[in-house]
C-alpha cells in the first residue's frame, strides 16, 4: 500500500503563487510515477502534471510554463503554481502510480480570487 499526504492549499489572488506538497509513505519503492490532477466544481478530474522516477516531467497545456513539479526525494513531490488564474480554482489531488496499484491523496482546495 501507498499513502499520500497533501498540504499547501488555500486562497490566493490572481497572479499569485502557491506551492502544494505531497508526501508518500508505505511501499514507496513500488512507485514509478507521481503527479497531480485537479477537479473544478461540476467538472471532471483533469490531469495536470506528472514526474517519472527518472525525472521526466509532463504538463497539461493549460498549466505549461506556469506550473512545475519539483521533487526533493523519491517520496515527496511538489506542485509549484505561479501566475495563478481564477480558472485554476479546483481541488488538487496528488497521485502515485506503482506496480501494486494507483493511489490518491485526499485532495486540497486551491481558490484563486480575481
pLDDT per residue as tens digits for the range 56-68: 999 999 999 999 9
Cα gap 77→71, rounded to integer Å? 4
CA angle 9, 83, 93 (to 5 degrees): 30
User: In angstroms, what CA-CA distances link 21 with 30, 43, 69, 73?
Assistant: 20, 23, 10, 12
pLDDT band at 91 (very low <50, low <70, confident <90, very high): very high
Query: Could you tell me how far CA 66 lies from the centroid of its own chain?
Result: 13
Average pLDDT, stretch 75-81? 96
Asked if the model's pLDDT at residue 87 lies above 80, the reply is yes
Amino acid at each position: 500500500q501507498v499513502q499520500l499526504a497533501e498540504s499547501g492549499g488555500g486562497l490566493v489572488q490572481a497572479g499569485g503563487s502557491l506551492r502544494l506538497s505531497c508526501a508518500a509513505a508505505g511501499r514507496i519503492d513500488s512507485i514509478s510515477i507521481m503527479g497531480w490532477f485537479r477537479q473544478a466544481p461540476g467538472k471532471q478530474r483533469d490531469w495536470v502534471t506528472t514526474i517519472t522516477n527518472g525525472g521526466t516531467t509532463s504538463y497539461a497545456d493549460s498549466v505549461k510554463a506556469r506550473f512545475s513539479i519539483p521533487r526533493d526525494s523519491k517520496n515527496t513531490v511538489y506542485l509549484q503554481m505561479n501566475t495563478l488564474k481564477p480558472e485554476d480554482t479546483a481541488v488538487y489531488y496528488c497521485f502515485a502510480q506503482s506496480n501494486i496499484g494507483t493511489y490518491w491523496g485526499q485532495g486540497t482546495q486551491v481558490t484563486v480570487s480575481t
